[in-house]
Structure 1
Amino acid sequence: MVKSVSERTPKARVVRLGGREIIVAEGQHLGFWADISHRCMTASWPSFIAGAALVFVVFNAIFAGFYWIADQPISNVPGGAYIDYLYFSIETLSTAGYGDMHPQTHYGHFIAATELFTGIFSMSLMTGLIFARFSRPNARLLFADNPVISSHEGKPTLMVRFVNERHNIIGNAAAKLWLMRNEVSVEGGTSRRFYELPLARSEHPALALSWTLYHVIDEQSPLYGLDADDFAAADVSLVVVVSGYDVVAAQTIHARKSYDYPAVRFGQRYADILDRTEDGRLRIDYGRFHETLEG
């Protein structure tokens, strides 16, 4: 017995949250074309280009077939070969129109007009998608591979370091650090809870170089008294969210980085990457950016 569309089991959607894959929205009926613009915007550039090329080939193959099944709808097509109709279809769909081949019947003119409209529409749509992908603001922030927990200013502190790779000014930069962990309720049920970790400094007036976030682990901190084993037992994840105003792009940009508990290094600190050259200029050593040291 064939199931109806509404009875078929839909494919579960997979998203990444806090550095791990979580299966969500199981049982949700969401077709491929339901949010195609979002898929086009979030696909990688190789996938986007490959998809656009595939659509281009399929459209031309279909219209070439319409020309091919008719009785010489296009002039100057020797022998009525399919490949020649495919070339004519490409000229028409792309609105190039070299002129050596042209419709010579009402059927040919009708198919060519339909294809021309499709070409104009698809080219406009593709132009808009490419422009949106190129003009979309993005932050070039490089985050350290590992958060560290060690003593800072005499207090146990969680630290996360990142740097502005563009070295332009990100004005009014703001950062938030979130903790996610599993907790067992009084009834014995397990749920995923999240907490915002207070930072010693959550705003930066002009982020151009590096910035280290500090969360002091005191009695009020959700991390107070936890060690590496406790992190693993609670399946701890950390999420850093940074936003600010890019003065070059004149747009607000956002960046996000997730860490799972194995990435957190206890009893270590970041290697110093800032020093000065002999002529007094500030220098950043990116070769040591991800390096951590004991202490």
Structure 2
Amino acid sequence: MMFGIRKRIQDHLVERRIRRTRLVTKYGQCNIEFGNVKCGNQFAFLVDFWTTFVEFRWRFVLFFFTVSFTLSWFIFGLLWFWIARSNGDLTWQNPSKGHKYCVENVSDLITAFLFSMETQTSIGYGIRVITPHCSGAVTLIITQFLIGSIINCFMCGIILAKISIPKKRAKTITFSQTAVICPKKDFLCLMIRVANLRKTLMIGSQIYGKLLRTTNKPNGETIIMDQVNIEFMVDAGKDNLFFVCPLTLYHVIDKASPFFEMAVDTLHKQEFELVVFLDGTAETTSSACQVRTSFIPQEIMWGYSFLPIISRSKEGKYRVNFSNFSKVVPVATAHCSYCLHNMKGHHLHSINGIDNWEFEANDNLEQPNMTKL
């Protein structure tokens, strides 16, 4: 029992370490921080205040608007109190019987605050009413109405922008937990699987990848985040994907591929991160969005292929079985891309020598779970 607990703790620590070291998480968040940013550059966030507010968390947005409304009501309440005091409308000023009020029934600071709130929110109870005897009061009520309308419009715009933010649409695009390397069309290919969980399409979908690694130049320069383009495609091409059902995307490992010199026994010893991007436009909202995920060497399985997930029902409809979305099976695969073309018969052997088994990657991706078919 103690061994099992210790093993789970070690797995959790390994998972946390992997999550810290990768640039892009499996769910698309970028793991990066900025230090020593100059104050002048930070001022740019205030200049672009609209984007700043949209990117704020909901708790901060709600807090800001609560403070904005309350503060505006209080400030204008003070101004209404000042007008009433200047005109001698307050109770302690003992106005005469024929006194002409600027605002009726505003007799102290509390009633001035209530009149300010009723004016800005257009409540209009009818107890406290402005009169035409004070030009300053007329000017103030026009000013408060305009400022209140601006605050309302700004609040509604921020809320609508946050609700319709394209990141929410990206939540319904999912990638397989692992990538696989297996033969396809006389080449070794790196494959991933992507699915759209909504029936509405992503228009003009394009997918591409970036391989991030540390590169040492001959002149001694070290590039911490060297980026190499990785092209993905489906059988119909690589642009404008018909994304109506899950797709298996593949990258051909040829001589131009950074995976060409890797082999089954050296892949997991490499240090790189494969970041995959999917760009498209939501059919419903016409808003562009980007979905991201990443794969590290421990999440790439050499010598496996994805199980099929699309079938036809008896009624003739296409059916997608998502239970097989991330499941893989071993296939006969060469130990390296060079071996496939230069060593005769090398591609005819299975990497593990095991057939008729079904694999599904677990959470920590260190060892697949196996079930006999």
> Which TM-score tier does this pair reach, normalised by the shorter chain?
0.7 to 0.9
Aligned residue in 1 for 2:47: 34
Match of 1:221 among 257, 267, 284: 257
1:24 maps to which residue? 34
Cα offset, 1:293, TM superposition: 3.2
Query: Under a length normalisation based on structure 1, what TM-score does the superposition of the two structures give?
Result: 0.75
Counterpart code for 2:189? T
> For 2:74, which of 47, 61, 72 is the aligned residue?
61
- Call closer, same or farther: CA 1:24–1:265 in 2, change over 3 Å: same
Taking only the aligned residue pairs, the percentage that are identical comes to 20
Provide the C-alpha distance between the structure 1 equivalents of 2:275 and 2:312, rounded to a whole number of angstroms: 32
> What is the aligned partner in structure 1 of residue 174 from structure 2?
143
User: Could you tell me which residue of structure 2 aligns to residue 9 of structure 1?
Assistant: none
Greater helix fraction, Structure 1 or Structure 2: 2
Residue 216 of structure 2 corresponds to residue 184 of structure 1:
yes
Written as runs of structure 1 = structure 2, the 5 A alignment for 1:237-252 is 237-249=273-285, 251=286
Structure 1 stretches of 5 or more lacking a match?
1-15
- Report if aligned partners of 2:180, 2:192 keep a CA contact under 8 Å in 1: no
Shift of 1:117: 1.9
Question: What CA distance in whole angstroms lies between the structure 2 residues aligned with 1:91 and 1:240?
Answer: 53
Match of 1:198 among 215, 231, 246: 231
Please tell me the residue identity of whatever aligns with 2:127.
D
- Change beyond 3 A, Cα 1:165–1:52: farther
Aligned residue for 1:237, secondary structure, equals strand
Counterpart contact for 2:189–2:252, Cα < 8 Å:
yes
Distance 2:119 2:228 in 1: 58
In 2, are the aligned partners of 1:177 and 1:199 still within 8 Å (CA)? Answer: yes
Query: Shift of the alpha carbon at 1:292?
Result: 3.3
Aligned AA for 2:196?
Answer: N
- What is the letter of the counterpart of residue 208 of structure 2? K
- Provide the residue aligned with 2:292 in structure 1: 257
The partner residue of 1:285 within 300, 321, 324 is 321
Deviation at 1:127, TM superposition (A): 3.7
3-state SS of paired residue (2:270)? helix
Partner of 1:101: 128
CA deviation vs aligned residue, 1:56-111 (integer Å, no higher than 9, x gap):
2232233334445662464324x6253x4433322222344343223455555444
- Judge conservation of contact 2:78–2:109 (CA < 8 Å) in 1: no
State the shift of 1:211 in Å.
Answer: 1.7
The verdict on how the C-alpha distance between 1:269 and 1:279 changes in structure 2, with shifts beyond 3 A counting, is same
The CA distance in 2 between the partners of 1:217 and 1:113, in whole Å, is: 69
In structure 2, list runs of 5 or more residues that go unmatched: 1-21, 91-101, 331-373
**How far does residue 183 in structure 1 lie from its aligned partner after superposition?**
1.2
How many angstroms apart in 1 are the aligned matches of 2:144 and 2:256?
Answer: 67
Q: Which amino acid aligns with 1:41?
A: V
Residue 118 of structure 1 deviates from its aligned partner by 0.7
Query: TM-score under structure 2 normalisation?
Result: 0.62
| Residues 1:148 and 1:85: Cα distance change in structure 2 (over 3 Å) | same
The structure in which a higher percent of residues are strand is 1
Q: Which moved more, 1:258-267 or 1:216-225?
A: 258-267
Q: CA-atom RMSD, angstroms?
A: 3.2
Q: Does structure 2 retain, via aligned residues, the 8 Å contact 1:149–1:156? A: no
> How far has the Cα of 1:270 moved from its partner?
3.7
Match of 1:167 in 2: 199
Contact map agreement 1:237 1:258 (CA 8 A) in 2? no
Count of aligned residue pairs for this structure pair: 272
The structure with the larger Rg is: 2
For 1:182, give the aligned amino acid. T
- 1:274 has 2:310 as partner: yes
AA in 2 matched with 1:150: I
Distance in structure 2 (CA, Å) of the matches to 1:275 and 1:147: 22
Q: 1:172 to 1:113 in 2, by over 3 A?
A: closer
2:108 maps to which residue? 80
Q: Which amino acid aligns with 2:249?
A: L
Tell me, yes or no, if the aligned pair for 2:209 and 2:274 is still in contact at 8 Å. yes
The amino acid across from 1:148 in the alignment is: A
